[in-house]
């Protein structure tokens, strides 16, 4: 009796995830979303990285510039990747026309605004797809 139930649940889970090929969560630290997307875009990430780079700078502008350059160099390729990824995420959200956060984007086609539970949002998208083939 447990085996058929397990098979049915597995099939249902596979069917739900099979239809959502690409899932993004677009949000910020103030609006967390439960679930693990294919891509998490935090719109405040660039600001947080820049705040770290500019923390505790001296009042002398030349010294401050040198310290920031040192921090950038010290962060190396990983810091450059973080910055580029953070700004690319903001650009991608903008290009999709995201107007409210949190936003859950499925296949860059369907958007659920305000839902903080990824599984619930995916269920809503799947239901919509069934009703609107």
pLDDT score for 11:
43
Check whether 74 has a pLDDT greater than 50. Answer: yes
Q: In a 3-state reduction of DSSP, which class is residue 113? A: strand
CB atoms within 10 A of CB 25: 25
Model confidence pLDDT, tens digit, residues 3-20: 443 344 444 444 444 455
**What per-residue confidence (pLDDT) applies to 133?**
72
Q: Which two tokens stand for residue 34?
A: 């439960």
Rounded (10°) angle between helices 45-53 and 61-96: 170
Q: Is the pLDDT of residue 89 over 70?
A: yes
Measured CA to CA, the distance from residue 60 to residue 75 in angstroms comes to 22
Work out the number of other CB atoms within 10 angstroms of the CB of residue 8: 10
Residue 96 pLDDT > 80: yes
pLDDT (0 to 100) of residue 17: 44
Quick one: tokens of 71? 């921090």
Which tens digits make up the pLDDT trace of 20-71? 579 999 999 999 999 999 999 999 999 999 999 999 999 999 999 999 999 9
Contacts of 21 (CB under 8 A, 6+ apart): 107
């Amino acid at each position: 009796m447990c085996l058929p139930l397990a098979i049915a649940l597995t099939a249902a889970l596979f069917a739900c995830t099979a239809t959502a090929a690409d899932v993004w969560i677009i949000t910020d630290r103030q609006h967390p979303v439960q679930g693990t997307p294919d891509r998490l875009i935090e719109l405040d990430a660039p600001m947080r990285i820049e705040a770290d780079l500019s923390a505790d700078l001296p009042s002398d502008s030349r010294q401050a510039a040198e310290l920031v350059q040192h921090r950038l160099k010290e962060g190396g390729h990983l810091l450059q990747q973080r910055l580029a990824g953070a700004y690319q995420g903001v650009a991608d959200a903008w290009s999709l026309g995201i107007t409210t956060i949190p936003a859950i984007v499925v296949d860059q086609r369907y958007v659920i605004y305000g839902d903080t539970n990824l599984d619930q949002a995916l269920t809503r998208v799947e239901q919509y797809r069934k009703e609107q083939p």
